[in-house]
Chains A and B, each alone.
Chain A
Amino acid sequence: MSAAPAGLRSSGDVIVFDRVSYSIGGRPILENVSFTVSAGTTKVVMGPSGIGKSTILRLILGLIRPQSGDVIVLGRSIVKAAAGGRDEIRRKIGMVFQNGALFDSLTVGENVGYSLIEHGHIPIDEVEERVRTMLKRVGLDPDVLLDRLPDELSIGMQRRVAIARALASNDPQIMLYDEPTTGLDPVSVEMITDIIVRLRQELHVSSIVVTHEIPHALKVGNRFLFLYDRRVAFEGSASELAESNVPDLVRFLAPFKISLAQAFHSFGEGNGT
């Protein structure tokens, strides 16, 4: 495992992004990106569409490899780990993909219990009980949904099932959310937001939430990172975000001016500002 630069990493960091550069077919997506995520915190990654926000999550999961730099997850480099080591690290991460990515040929129950059945963490007769618990945790009724297929559910319900599936895997220490509220109605956005906040408070899970919806970001996050032009243009707390005069960030936040004021008023103080 390579050591991250001094000052970047502390013993409380669960994720360390160390000077990571990533490109596709010669087109640079991320250049020299460094940041950390401390245990028990939620870092929100913001930025315009197509800037490489989701790429960060894929790098953390080891689904893709950076051209240079290192990604250290729970003290181990997922870049340098062998296939078996990568799977071990992944088992401690819960990932909620954009649009849920539920397995459409499996029922809700099979989706949520997938990892439990696949890896045989617990006896098969306990799987259903665990699945029911996870569905209840995200506010869904297992009696109604257990045998339904994903495409029979609303988009909001699919996202909540995806969160339940990520949670069921193996009590993850890290949760990654890729645009969890995109395309949802306001009520569903509120529900998902509450679930993410509650999981951090109750389970002390460290999280990264990728989003470009600022009001949602302010509610769930206590550290914020703004990606622009392949680099980290801003990193800080909510109050630092509000006071930042980084031109690209100011331009990005401008359309949310009113929402920002409301969000800061309602949630800012409680989120580590």
Chain B
Amino acid sequence: MEFNSELMKKFSNCFSPSGRENNIRNLIKEEIKDYVDELTTDPLGNLIARKKGNGKKILFSAHMDQIGLIITHVDEKGFLRFSNVGGLHPKELLGLRMIFDNNLEGVICSEELKDKEKLTMSKLYLDVASTSVDFVKNNFQIGDMCVFKSEYYETEDCVICKAADDRIGCYILIEALKNHPATDNDIYYVFSVQEEVGCRGAKTAGYGINPDIAIALDVTATGDSPDGIKMDVKLGGGAAIKLMDKSLITHPQVKELLTNLSIENNIKYQYEVLEFGGTDSGAIHMTRTGVPSGVISIPTRNIHSSGEIFNKNDVLECIKLTISITKS
């Protein structure tokens, strides 16, 4: 299986911050419509692709939304104030280029500060490069969202792009769907909305589907960068089987299942304990009477930045593991 760079590039460049997942949903629909038995969109906007069967109900979830900014105020001089949609730190925003759905752009600037350490979101503004206040007022308004602008780039083994969180999870689900094996299991591939603002889509999708087991596909942090956080996950180490994060303690039986499948199918894997963050499985495992849940994580550096980095081989291992679950 080759890494489909064209598809991932298209996904990464697709404008779809939380609550505005229309573009990516259409893109994914187009990509998978010939491979599924049933394709529905639930009331919150989750795209649910089903491969029917009479066996176990398995839910896979990858979120379609990406982090971004939302305009809160357009001032009299034509500068835009904003708030974050999803987890962003003001210090990491300064100087970044942002792009809107209509392809207009801006750059994030700061008011003059004596102490840059005290930078807060309220001191930042977006300069959309126009001296005409009318132009600004006609083209931007409260509630408009924008996302990072950055180019997709790849080397022999790794990719740098924005929104790898979690378009790479969507990518993995699509590859698994295209290579769906013969199985009795009833499989739901969920492309969820609004994960970045609190795993909202997954909560309703989990309730609606009421599965026997749930597996999220999402990115996780790594401990392999200079003087970085202390954790054992690394790029190139294979699919990461999550054992705990702030939203989930992986069900012991799911841990065992994923471990055994990896060993049986010669899938390169590593265990992950993340001391922060959460995924769709955090929401799904608490729906109704509970759902035994786990996560296959894609080791990713610089999560929530405009240059997230992952390893293509890790992605292939994640695809293999996902496929092996569908027939388990």
Chains A and B bind each other: no
- Give me the interface of A with B, judged by CB distance under 8 Å: none
- Give me the interface of B with A, judged by CB distance under 8 Å: none
